[in-house]
Structure 1
Amino acid sequence: MLHNLSLENILFLDIETVPEFRNYSEMSEEKKLLWAEKSKYQRKDDYSPEEFYERAGIWSEFGKIICISAGFFSLKNGSRNFRITSFKGAEEKLLSEFTALLEKHFYQPHHLLCAHNGKEFDFPYIARRMLIHNMKLPSKLNLFGKKPWEVPHLDTLELWKFGDYKHFTSLKLLTNVLGIPSPKEDIDGSMVREVYYEKEDLNRIVEYCERDVVAIAQVILRLRQESLLREDEITSID
């Protein structure tokens, strides 16, 4: 089935998230109690809620999106081009801009969203943050009432599992075993909070996010047993 999909109908994406606040102390007392309850199974007795707060970005209720990068193929006259763009900064603004992209270019029934571990992380995270901002969900993220085979999402982690639900493979490992250049050249996910809040270098995070999007597209190409993208086939657009 993967070989039957048109690459031009797939929007590849990745998100970067951080804790909603720079410091634990900025949360309300009620939110601190909720955070302690939410994180207790992960923290166990090893960390206090305050010590563990630097990891809050992985929960949509306690984190926020600071970047969404998206890429898509343009196939014309036998040539292949992968175009990539990013939405960054204030969360509500970037979510509105991302929604506009979906509603203008990727809203048809045959269009698909693709991410690595997207079904467990990226897609639900985006949808939850939109609802927190009281935004209308675009059709590609509104799954209410949809049957599993109607969900317009591809997940490279799920494709690699081949039905093995206990198996997790990071994007870094998957690119390694498939012979794809690693996207983790500068930073990795564990460093995003520090780069955002301490070093205040959002552009560095955007570049990292865009490399992940390219890597996800490369994984799909390898799973289709097609040639990988060359550097001259990748174009960044504003």
Structure 2
Amino acid sequence: MLHKISLENILFLDIETVPEFRDYSEMSEEKKLLWDEKSKYQRKEDFTPEEFYERAGIWSEFGKIICISVGFFSFKNGSRSFRITSFQGEEEKLLRDFTVLLEEYFFQPYHLLCAHNGKEFDFPYIARRMLIHNMRLPSKLNLFGKKPWEVPHLDTLELWKFGDYKHFTSLKLLTHVLGIPSPKEDIDGSMVREVYYEKGELNRIVEYCERDVIAIAQVILKLRQEVLLSDSEIIAVN
């Protein structure tokens, strides 16, 4: 089935998220109480709600998106390229810009979105943040009433599970076992909040996010048993 999908019809993506506020103290008293309750199970007795707040970016109700990187294949005159670009900065604007991309270029029924653990994280996170900003969901993220086989999403984690739903494999591990160059250079996910809030280096985060998108595309190529992308085939699009 995977081999029957045209690579040009897939939009590969990855997101980076951080806590909505720099510090726990910046939340309203009501939201602090909600955070205390939401995080109780995960932090147990090991952390106070304030200490645990640095991890708030993984929850869409307490975090925000600072970067969406996307990539897509192009085949022209017998040559292959992988074009990559990013939407970054203020959340509402980047979500609106991303929506324009989906509605103008990736809106056909045969178009698919692809991410690693996207069905559990990236896709629902983006949709929830759009609704929080009172935005209309693009068709590729509006899953209300759709049957499972109508959902236009590919997930490299799900593909690697082969039906083993208790199994989780990180993108870093998956690229390693498949012989794909690791995307985890310079920083990793645990450092994103610090790099964003403490160092103000959004560009580093964008580069990290784009490397993940390339890695996801490489995983799909590997699963299709096709030749991996070379550096010369990867083109940054402003």
Identify the residue that residue 208 of structure 1 maps to in structure 2: 208
What amino acid is aligned across from residue 13 of structure 2 in structure 1? L
Does the alignment pair 1:174 with 2:174?
yes
What CA deviation, in whole Å up to 9, does each residue of 1:106-152 have, x standing for no partner?
A: 00000000000000000000000000000000000000000000000
Task: Please give the secondary structure, in 2, of the residue aligned with 1:163.
Answer: coil
Q: CA separation in 2, counterparts of 1:56 and 1:34?
A: 12
Name segments (4+ residues, structure 1) moved above 6 Å.
Answer: none
Task: Please give the secondary structure, in 2, of the residue aligned with 1:18.
Answer: strand
What amino acid is aligned across from residue 212 of structure 2 in structure 1? D
Specify every segment of 5 or more residues in structure 2 that has no aligned partner in the other structure, as ranges.
none
1:34-113 alignment runs, 5 A limit: 34-113=34-113
What amino acid is aligned across from residue 103 of structure 1 in structure 2? E
Does the alignment pair 1:5 with 2:2?
no
Q: CA separation in 1, counterparts of 2:79 and 2:5?
A: 18
Does the alignment pair 1:133 with 2:139?
no
How well do the aligned residues superpose, as a CA RMSD in angstroms? 0.3
- TM-score normalised by length of structure 2: 1.00
1:141-160 alignment runs, 5 A limit: 141-160=141-160
Shift of 1:77: 2.1
Identify the residue that residue 218 of structure 2 maps to in structure 1: 218
Q: CA separation in 2, counterparts of 1:40 and 1:154?
A: 32
Shift of 1:76: 1.4
Task: Please give the secondary structure, in 1, of the residue aligned with 2:200.
Answer: coil
Q: CA separation in 2, counterparts of 1:193 and 1:124?
A: 20
Identify the residue that residue 191 of structure 2 maps to in structure 1: 191
Task: Please give the secondary structure, in 1, of the residue aligned with 2:215.
Answer: helix
Task: Please give the secondary structure, in 1, of the residue aligned with 2:86.
Answer: strand
Q: CA separation in 1, counterparts of 2:78 and 2:229?
A: 14
Shift of 1:28: 0.3
Identify the residue that residue 22 of structure 1 maps to in structure 2: 22
What amino acid is aligned across from residue 162 of structure 2 in structure 1? F
Shift of 1:101: 0.4
Task: Please give the secondary structure, in 2, of the residue aligned with 1:65.
Answer: strand
Shift of 1:203: 0.3
What CA deviation, in whole Å up to 9, does each residue of 1:172-214 have, x standing for no partner?
A: 0000000000000110000000000000000000000000000
Task: Please give the secondary structure, in 1, of the residue aligned with 2:141.
Answer: coil
What CA deviation, in whole Å up to 9, does each residue of 1:57-102 have, x standing for no partner?
A: 0000000000000000001122100000000000000000000000
What amino acid is aligned across from residue 219 of structure 2 in structure 1? V
What amino acid is aligned across from residue 151 of structure 1 in structure 2? V
- TM-score normalised by length of structure 1: 1.00
Sequence identity (%): 86
Q: CA separation in 2, counterparts of 1:147 and 1:109?
A: 14
Equivalenced residue count is 238
